[in-house]
């Protein structure tokens, strides 16, 4: 375990509440963002499924404990919310990526730990940007120089952190020093979907572009290339970790009601093609519902918390369930 763990905690949470996205984090997003996603970490961890996931973390791992001691940061306890943003439209060769976190940090201790491990510290407008140690370079006349990773993080204060490519981190610092309210349509959609979900996403990127080539050889990949998904102008969705069930919802705004209905029909067909030999997969497919409201196609999926555990942790579910404490926070 090393200092990359801290940046990883911010970036990984990003890929999904009773409180909307933190406006402080939202105002740090790049103005040309196309995709936003977030998670209310503290509320998610407090849910039954969150408690179950915590049992999967090896709390006794020496490396993890060493990381906590060195940085004073325990992501299970000290990370409250994560917001991830990118301006990628599915065609960019080097899109900007930014992960923002709210929690309880001890910047001076984390900075000291980074220096002790060879981290690269770069001053920028009064802040210390932390980058991973430069990779070792092999010696020899024909050896090419190894590029330093273009990733970094910074602590804007004791409760706010930013991680991503260096240019995006510098941009976050600029916006922190000169705050401007992020009031774009994407920001408004993010606020709306984050009110009812602990993990969520919102995008103004057409799904035909966003999903193109990302689904491998599955049937969904061919669907993403046709005219149907090209009619999806924007999308949003989220996960709500309830006390008894986990609910997944999604909305796709299309060009017309006819397209919305066609999209639902295609999704229903794809779900019907899922093999029913595995009872866990069959229950997942059978719980999905698709409806149309005007030009919007809506997906809803609700599973009992026990079903979710069995679906994602089939080998350790029973053991972990017995080990789950009443409250880990």
- For 177-208, write each residue's pLDDT tens digit: 999 999 999 999 999 999 988 889 998 887 66
| CATH number of 162's domain | 3.40.1000
Q: Which of 177, 196, 224 is the last residue of a domain?
A: 177
Q: 102 with 46, same domain? A: yes
Per the domain annotation, does 189 fall within a domain? Answer: no
Lowest mean pLDDT among 5-9, 32-36, 77-81, 293-297: 5-9
Which domain, by its residues, includes 106? 4-139+148-177
Per the domain annotation, does 61 fall within a domain? Answer: yes
Q: Against a cut of 0.75, is the pTM above it?
A: yes
Distance CA 146, CA 155 (A): 27
Q: 70 with 161, same domain? A: yes
Q: 25 with 158, same domain? A: yes
Per the domain annotation, does 193 fall within a domain? Answer: no
Q: 250 with 292, same domain? A: yes
Q: Which of 126, 158, 177 is the last residue of a domain?
A: 177
Per the domain annotation, does 191 fall within a domain? Answer: no
Q: 153 with 226, same domain? A: no
Backbone angles phi, psi at 322, to 5 degrees: -70, -30
Per the domain annotation, does 262 fall within a domain? Answer: yes
Q: Which of 129, 158, 177 is the last residue of a domain?
A: 177
Per the domain annotation, does 200 fall within a domain? Answer: no
Per the domain annotation, does 196 fall within a domain? Answer: no
Residue with the two structure tokens 């940090």 = 105
Q: 10 with 57, same domain? A: yes
Q: What is the CA radius of gyration of the chain?
A: 21
235-291 per-position pLDDT tens digit: 999 988 877 778 889 999 998 999 999 989 988 887 777 666 566 666 666 788 999
Q: 115 with 45, same domain? A: yes
Total number of domains in the chain: 2
Burial of 180 (0-12, 13-18, 19+ CB in 10 A): exposed
Per the domain annotation, does 24 fall within a domain? Answer: yes
Angle subtended at Cα 80 by Cα 78 and Cα 81, rounded to the nearest 5 degrees: 140
Q: 129 with 210, same domain? A: no
The residues, any chain, with a CB within 8 Å of residue 81's CB and separated by 6 or more, are 21, 22, 25, 38, 39, 40, 41, 42, 101, 102, 103
Average pLDDT over residues 50-72: 70
Q: 218 with 92, same domain? A: no
């Amino acid at each position: 375990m090393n200092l990359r763990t801290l940046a990883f905690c911010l970036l990984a949470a990003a890929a999904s509440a009773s409180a909307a996205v933190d406006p402080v984090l939202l105002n740090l997003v790049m103005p040309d963002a196309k995709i936003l996603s977030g998670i209310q970490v503290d509320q998610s961890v407090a849910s039954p499924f969150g408690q179950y996931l915590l049992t999967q973390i090896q709390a006794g791992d020496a490396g993890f404990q060493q990381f906590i001691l060195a940085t004073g940061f325990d992501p299970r306890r000290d990370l409250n919310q994560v917001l991830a943003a990118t301006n990628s439209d599915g065609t960019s060769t080097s899109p900007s990526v930014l992960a923002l976190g709210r929690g309880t940090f001890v910047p001076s201790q984390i900075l000291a730990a980074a220096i002790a491990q060879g981290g690269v510290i770069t001053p920028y407008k009064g802040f210390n940007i932390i980058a991973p140690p430069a990779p070792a370079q092999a010696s020899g006349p024909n050896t090419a120089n190894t590029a330093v990773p273009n990733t970094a993080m910074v602590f804007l204060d004791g409760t706010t952190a930013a991680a991503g490519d260096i240019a995006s981190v510098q941009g976050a610092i600029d916006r922190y020093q000169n705050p401007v309210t992020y009031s774009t349509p994407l920001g408004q959609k993010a606020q709306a979907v984050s009110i009812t979900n602990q993990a969520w996403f919102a995008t103004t990127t057409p799904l035909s572009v966003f999903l193109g080539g990302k689904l491998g050889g599955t049937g969904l990949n061919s669907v993403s290339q046709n005219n149907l998904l090209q009619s999806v102008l924007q999308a949003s969705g989220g996960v709500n970790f309830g006390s008894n069930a986990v609910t997944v919802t999604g909305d796709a705004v299309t060009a017309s009601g006819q397209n919305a209905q066609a999209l639902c029909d295609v999704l229903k067909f794809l779900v019907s093609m899922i093999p029913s030999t595995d009872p866990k997969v069959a229950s997942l497919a059978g719980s999905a519902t698709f409806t149309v409201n005007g030009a919007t196609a809506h997906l809803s999926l609700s599973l009992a918390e026990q079903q979710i555990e069995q679906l994602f942790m089939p080998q350790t579910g029973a053991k972990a369930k017995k080990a789950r404490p009443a409250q880990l926070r």
